[in-house]
Amino acid sequence: MRFVKNLTRTPYYVLTGGLAIIFLFPLVWSAFASVSAQGGTSQTDGFGFGNYLKLLEYDAGLGQFILNSLIVSGLTVAMTLVISLLGGYAFARFTFPGKNALFLLVLAILMVPYASLLVPLYVLLGNIGLVDSLVGLSLVLTMYQLPFSLFMMRISFEAVPAELEESAMVDGCNSFSALMRILLPAVQPGLITVGLFAFFAAWNDFIAPLILINDSAKSPLPLAVANLRQQAMGAVDYGVTEAGVVVLAIPCIVLFLALQRFYIRGFMSGALKG
């Protein structure tokens, strides 16, 4: 019976294993190419870390670029979590005129092409003195995360029984204290999912920094890698590009592996509610 059971699960293992190989191959290839010898790169003989050394010493330095990305990602995650937590709670628990229309208007941002809003936003940030600023860049990235984040937090709150909140009210809590003491632990998976999406989007974004950041010392890591990859006569330095890809991928992989159980539970809560 065990043999028959394993035999019936063989197609599942073959399919999932094949998909894993397909998705992991580009990353493994990038890691291999970043340390292997290639003509026109900083690693021309044997295996080594010449491409990483070039990336480390470029312009303001790899440490500064990583710090810029961490600042942008941290601000984006913090603002997204606070706004989506409060907004999702309001949309899920309160009734006010125009609630559904306002929610649809927020979701409509997803239908607007990303790049088409960058020029108006550049002008707006210029008027308030936030052009070429990591804070201004974080505000733009937060705006693009809010539609999904508010939707995710709304369904997370709606999946929590209202009786929990009502019991807290009976015990003397107001809406805010009930949110922080009772509902916040219940919607933690959804909140972590929102934070992961916000971090991935901010950490890997290239278009917004390209338009909004002029000072190379303030460049996030993706923009710095894109600037470094161009050599004389328009040749592309593939070695340092692959090294940059590996450095960019490491935090995303570590965070996802550490928080994947919350990520799955966050989506499952919305699925169960639906």
CB 104 within 8 A of CB 257: no
**Could you give the CA distance from residue 53 to residue 228 in angstroms, rounded to a whole number?**
13
- What is the per-residue pLDDT for 6? 61
Q: Which domains does the chain have, with CATH numbers?
A: 57-273 (1.10.3720.10)
Ranges 2-11, 105-114, 145-154, 235-244: which has the least confidence: 2-11
- How distant, in Å, are the alpha carbons of 3, 8, 21, 119 from that of 15? 19, 13, 10, 44
* More confident position, 9 or 64: 64
Compute φ and ψ for 61, nearest 5 degrees: 105, 150
Q: How many CB atoms lie within 10 A of CB 81?
A: 19
Q: In the predicted model, is pLDDT for residue 80 greater than 90? A: yes
Picking from 239, 210, 227, the residue whose alpha carbon sits closest to that of residue 60 is 227
Q: What is the pLDDT of residue 234?
A: 62
Residues 112-123 pLDDT 10s: 888 888 888 888
pLDDT band of 177, cuts 50, 70, 90: confident
Of 103-107, 206-210, 248-252, 257-261, give the lowest mean pLDDT range.
257-261
**Residue 90 to residue 179: CA distance in whole angstroms:** 10
Burial pattern 192-213, b for ≥16 Cβ within 10 A else e, equals bbbbbbbbbbbbbbeebbbbbb
